[in-house]
Amino acid sequence: MSVTGRSGALPPSRPTSDGVRRVRLIGVGPGDPDQVTLEAVRAMREVDFFVVSDKSGAGADDPLVAARERLLQRHLDGPARVVRVDDPVRERRPDRTSTDAEYAEVVASWHEARAAAFEQALLGNDGDAGFLVWGDPAFYDSTIRVVEQVRDRGRVPLAIEVVPGISSIQLLAARHAIVLHEVGRAMHVTTGRRLREAVESGQDNVVVMLNRDLALEGLDDWWIWWGADLGTPHEELVAGRLGDVRADIDAARDRAKAAAGWVMDVFLLRKVAP
């Protein structure tokens, strides 16, 4: 696999002389248009069109599509060319995704369907494409992998560039004014699905994303720093001994969901000395 250099390594014009299309995966932070880097703004201004996945099929009513459009309005001088792609429906029924093998298979076929949809969007539109990636593209986001699949399918020669963004993990730490790990110690980042196995394997300082519920039995004495819809007007923060703040978190999650129509939460759990 070839690796492109810094963004300056590719000419800003398109397509390149060898017909390679430039695709920019732009990290846009976790929701606040102020938390977008200058490099990301420059990239947004340079691309010819944006490919935006519409997860719910709800079009303008999808709150995350609307959030991305607000970002573009804020940072571009004129209207953006947005190519919407219906996100292929992903199997989410717990009984179909309970084992690791089932989960991996479901995700692989979803990625394949997404790659086909992105390929169509690229074939149907000329110029440099931009993908607005929530938070930072390196954390629990498959846009890099899916666009690599498009490249590997071979119908659209692509040069992929990634622009980093502020992750929800960083914003969580900033809002609580904490360091995510203790001095010289490790930090484990995982999903809600894998939290239990992380704790059982001895992890005692765990950042959790993609959380489905707060089924955290047995951890009442651990400390939690929790945040939902960070960077939005409906942001919620709770911190404390888990056993003491569990009900506060449930209530805060309900408030965020009612106010914003969606809720995404991220948290740090730490085992503290009694």
Ligand X SMILES: C[S@@+](CC[C@H](N)C(=O)[O-])C[C@H]1O[C@@H](n2cnc3c(N)ncnc32)[C@H](O)[C@@H]1O
Does residue 130 bind ligand X (CB under 6 A)? no
Size of the site for ligand X (CB under 6 A): 21
Does residue 265 bind ligand X (CB under 6 A)? yes
Give whichever of 207 and 219 is closer to ligand X, judged by the CB atom: 207
Are the CB atoms for 219 and 267 separated by under 8 Å?
no
Are the CB atoms for 256 and 236 separated by under 8 Å?
yes
User: Considering the complex, what minimum distance in angstroms separates the CB of residue 165 from ligand X?
Assistant: 7
Does residue 62 bind ligand X (CB under 6 A)? no
* Radius of gyration of the chain, Cα coordinates, nearest whole angstrom: 20
Q: What is d(CA 207, CA 205) in angstroms, rounded to the nearest whole number?
A: 7
Does residue 264 bind ligand X (CB under 6 A)? yes
Count CB atoms within 10 A of the CB of residue 196: 15
Does residue 230 bind ligand X (CB under 6 A)? yes
Q: Which stretch binds ligand X (CB under 6 A): 46-54, 99-107, 154-162, 261-269?
A: 261-269
Are the CB atoms for 158 and 151 separated by under 8 Å?
yes
Binder among 228, 242, 252, 268 for ligand X (CB under 6 A): 228
Structure tokens at 273: 């000395």
Three-class SS state of 164: coil
- The amino acid that residue 157 corresponds to is P
- The amino acid that residue 3 corresponds to is V
Does residue 140 bind ligand X (CB under 6 A)? yes
**Please, what sign has the CA dihedral across residues 63, 68, 73, 78?**
negative
Does residue 163 bind ligand X (CB under 6 A)? no
Q: x/- string (CB under 6 A) for ligand X, residues 166-195? A: -xx---------------------------
Q: x/- string (CB under 6 A) for ligand X, residues 10-39? A: --------------------xx--------
Q: Which H helix or E strand runs over 227?
A: strand 223-228
Binder among 47, 159, 209, 249 for ligand X (CB under 6 A): 209
Using CB under 6 A, list all residues that contact ligand X: 30-31, 134-136, 139-141, 167-168, 209-211, 227-231, 264-266
